[in-house]
């Protein structure tokens, strides 16, 4: 009985929050991005100093050749971007295919349609730009069903709201731990359509079997290689998706082919290609990556080729 009452309570709170998000989403764009976003940026940067020390420390470590003035500029622009993400997330409640098409452009790699025709595909993206807009890739793959991995939130209410805001047609949001099982069960198609598996592959990865070390932004860094494992096991093409900001709330999808599904590759090679693409993206415009999360919590094992680099970096 208590669990039923709790369920009803959570659903009511989620519905209320969704209505508030919807009311915000229907405000004029100039109010949301021209007034509200700068205010949020000011509060986070100048008043709350939200994770300022974390941001600056990681910027210093990642770009040792940049001046303090340059790093402060990146930091300031990052807060502006963070505020835009807050606005963009709240605005998902008022989204539909027409609005998503207006806010998204697609720059497809050569022969993109031929490569994915009749096949399941893996798309690797990152916490760069407004990554929620990466879900819009279903708009350019009408013959595919998008399956996206995510980490369930600790708050049941916020997790339910998260899923409701992302309730798109031809899109399944699946917990990361269940992704492989979900793919295997549906690898022959969902509602008669092939599958695009979307993975944000720059998560803060713990040192587990499903991760590998790569040199990245002047750090020895752990990356999930689940996308590579899926691709090599089932011979799936792999694309890197870069989100290029056009203006506030509007992005261009740039796709780069990392693996054609049949090439002979060494272990971790596909992930290495992804890491190099992501690094170039961040170095070009670093303010759009998620600097407020602690990225480098883990150290290599003493028998790892990366351990000596780590010890030098600690000094």
Distance between CA atoms of 240 and 253, rounded to whole angstroms? 10
Whether 9 contacts 155, CB under 8 Å: no
Whether 63 contacts 73, CB under 8 Å: no
Helix, strand or coil, per DSSP, at residue 103: coil
- Tell me: pLDDT of 315 over 80: no
Which two three-digit tokens encode residue 204? Answer: 């803060």
- Tell me: pLDDT of 313 over 50: no
Which two three-digit tokens encode residue 6? Answer: 């709790």
Report helix angle 179-186 to 226-234, nearest 10: 20
pLDDT digits (tens, 9 = 90+) for 176-221: 889 889 999 999 999 999 999 999 998 777 776 678 899 999 999 9
Distance between CA atoms of 270 and 268, rounded to whole angstroms? 6
Distance between CA atoms of 29 and 16, rounded to whole angstroms? 22
Give residue 34's pLDDT. 97
pLDDT digits (tens, 9 = 90+) for 254-307: 999 999 999 999 999 999 999 999 999 999 999 999 999 988 887 765 545 544
Length of the chain: 315
Mean pLDDT of 24-38: 97
Distance between CA atoms of 196 and 171, rounded to whole angstroms? 9
For the CA atoms of 208, 296, 282, 102, the dihedral, rounded to the nearest 10 degrees, stands at 70
Whether 273 contacts 258, CB under 8 Å: yes
Distance between CA atoms of 148 and 69, rounded to whole angstroms? 38
pLDDT digits (tens, 9 = 90+) for 109-147: 888 999 999 999 999 999 999 999 999 999 999 999 999
pLDDT digits (tens, 9 = 90+) for 227-259: 999 999 999 999 999 999 999 999 999 999 999
- Tell me: pLDDT of 63 over 90: yes
């Amino acid at each position: 009985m208590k669990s039923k009452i709790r369920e009803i309570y959570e659903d009511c709170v989620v519905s209320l929050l969704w209505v508030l998000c919807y009311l915000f989403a229907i405000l004029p764009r100039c109010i949301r991005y021209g007034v509200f976003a700068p205010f949020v940026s000011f509060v986070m940067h100048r008043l709350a100093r939200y994770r300022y020390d974390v941001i600056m420390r990681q910027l210093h470590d990642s770009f040792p050749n940049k001046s303090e003035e340059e790093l402060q500029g990146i930091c300031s622009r990052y807060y502006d971007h963070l505020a835009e993400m807050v606005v963009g997330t709240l605005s998902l409640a008022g989204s539909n295919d027409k609005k998503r098409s207006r806010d998204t452009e697609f720059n497809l790699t050569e022969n993109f349609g031929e490569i994915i025709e009749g096949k399941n595909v893996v798309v690797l993206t990152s916490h760069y730009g407004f990554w929620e807009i990466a879900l819009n890739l279903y708009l350019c793959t009408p013959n595919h069903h998008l399956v996206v991995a995510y980490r369930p939130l600790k708050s049941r209410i916020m997790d339910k709201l998260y899923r409701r805001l992302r309730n798109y047609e031809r899109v399944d949001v699946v917990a990361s731990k269940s992704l492989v099982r979900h793919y295997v069960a549906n690898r022959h198609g969902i509602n008669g359509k092939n599958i695009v598996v979307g993975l944000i592959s720059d998560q803060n990865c713990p040192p587990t079997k499903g991760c590998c070390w790569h040199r990245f932004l002047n750090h020895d860094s752990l990356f999930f290689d689940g996308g590579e494992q899926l691709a090599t096991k089932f011979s799936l093409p792999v694309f890197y998706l870069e989100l290029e900001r056009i203006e506030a709330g509007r992005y261009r999808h740039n796709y780069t082919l990392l693996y054609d599904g049949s090439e002979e590759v060494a272990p971790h090679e596909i992930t290495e290609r992804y890491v190099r693409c992501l690094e170039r993206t961040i170095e070009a415009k670093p303010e759009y990556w998620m600097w407020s999360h602690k990225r480098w919590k883990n150290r290599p094992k003493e028998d790892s080729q990366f351990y000596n680099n780590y010890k030098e970096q600690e000094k």
